[in-house]
Structure 1
Amino acid sequence: MNLSQAQTGNTHVVYFETGQFDVPQIETNRLVLFIQSLKDVEIERIAIYGFCDDRGSDLYNLELSQNRADAIKKIFSGFGVDDNLISNVDGKGEVLLRVISSDNLNIIRGLNRKVEINVVYKITEPEVVVKEKEEYRFLKKKLAVGDKITLDNILFKTGYSYIVKESIPVLEMMADALRERDDIYFTIEGHVCCTKNARDAVDRKTGKRNLSLARAKYIYDYLVKNGVKRTRMRYVGLKNKYPLGKATKYDKRVEIKITSISKRN
């Protein structure tokens, strides 16, 4: 039994000085007011994302943005916010320069030295019964070459190329479905969000900027290990060309694209 929840929320942004992760006093005051506004709200989760401007190396920006996110989390904890509500405290490194009506690069950069705080409120709705086992829909669906299937319930830990443990049973069902649907040939497409110029993100496990490719390969390797023939599939990383929405606690970042369908006997 799961709860179906209608969710709304609120967002707050904290800005930083160049190269700093100490929260300026005026920003601290604004943040305290924001935290106090949440005391009468039932919260589903809080996500804290740190960012930098376009200066500095990838490693430096990733570390600085993480320090900024950690600084904000410390303030939340200091005001008694339950740590279990904070689903993400992630440094995203360099962020896309915001498009605003200004030619002043310093102003634009200043808007990207920030931490974004996303608060999702929880509204409990009537219970919904969910089947424990369910075949993937594409097993019964009529497919055509070029169709794309988003793997909605296969979720990656933000910034990493491995899935969360809750998604393992789903991936097992997907492998079962693809073994049965052996007429399908496909490409596994990996994605990321929130990077500059549609480039790839850094895989925090390896430090390499190939996160979308590593995610696609993770699914590919699992399917091979579980009996799906290599000759039926390939994998690619599409970087930030076609992101599948904003990052949350976990990333939904893989699609399957049908490349050919053979006649079944």
Structure 2
Amino acid sequence: MRFFTYIFTLVCVTCFAQDQELIQSIYFDFDKYEIRSDQQTELHKFMASIDTTQIESIQIFGYCDDRGKDAYNYDLSTHRANTIKDTLLLHGIKNKIIILIEGKGRILIDEDFEINVPKARSKNRRVDVLVNFIPLKTIRTVNETYAVLRKDVIVGDKITLDKVLFEKGSSKLSRTSKTELDKIAIRLHRYPNIQIEVQGHVCCTPVYQKEAIDRATQKRELSINRSKTVYKYLISRRVNEKRLTYKGYGNTQPLGKSPELDRRVELIITKN
């Protein structure tokens, strides 16, 4: 009985530690594998209390008390497990999610330490139904920064483009930058619901000016032009322009590293 108590306690701790697992025990009469009417009711209540569409797998374990020969008890416990399986199928459970049906045979008890032997034996004539549920998705609320575009991004996440850097005073894309943006375009095609804002940045301008001069236009619009260049390049790679916006942030968001790294663009997720 102490062995059973240990197992039952272990299972229950697991149940409370994880919302993804439940156990239901169904009890049988001595030497029987037909379900009693009261246990039919208990099983029905259990099935009605859970969301069967979220079940990932079910394991069924049959047991007997300690009387009788081992071979007979294994056979009886297997019959009990299969009876429960057939009942679950009648409740609409799909056969493919019942991944294990096993007769465990008898559970030994120590009569010297057991206060109520008949009651202990009655508790051992049972089937345990172990239900595992599909893990719940964790809803992330804290934004993160990635080096590549991923499927599981949320609004506000940032994609850094370490290889999309610009020459001083320039908004033109290098060959390396174009190769990197080609990879981004492929991922945007793969995840069609994601929308982004292309954010342009500059370095090395006085705080009071914020924006730098673009040598090509001689206007103080460099960060805007960098973001617009990336925006247009992604459109040229057949990314729907409705999924894209662009904005220049000047020198307002320095990385605090080398100036070269501030001559950059970043992608911010605006819709996923």
**TM-score between the two structures when normalised by the length of structure 1:** 0.44
Structure (1 or 2) with the greater helix fraction: 2
TM-score, with length taken from structure 2: 0.43
Larger-Rg structure? 2
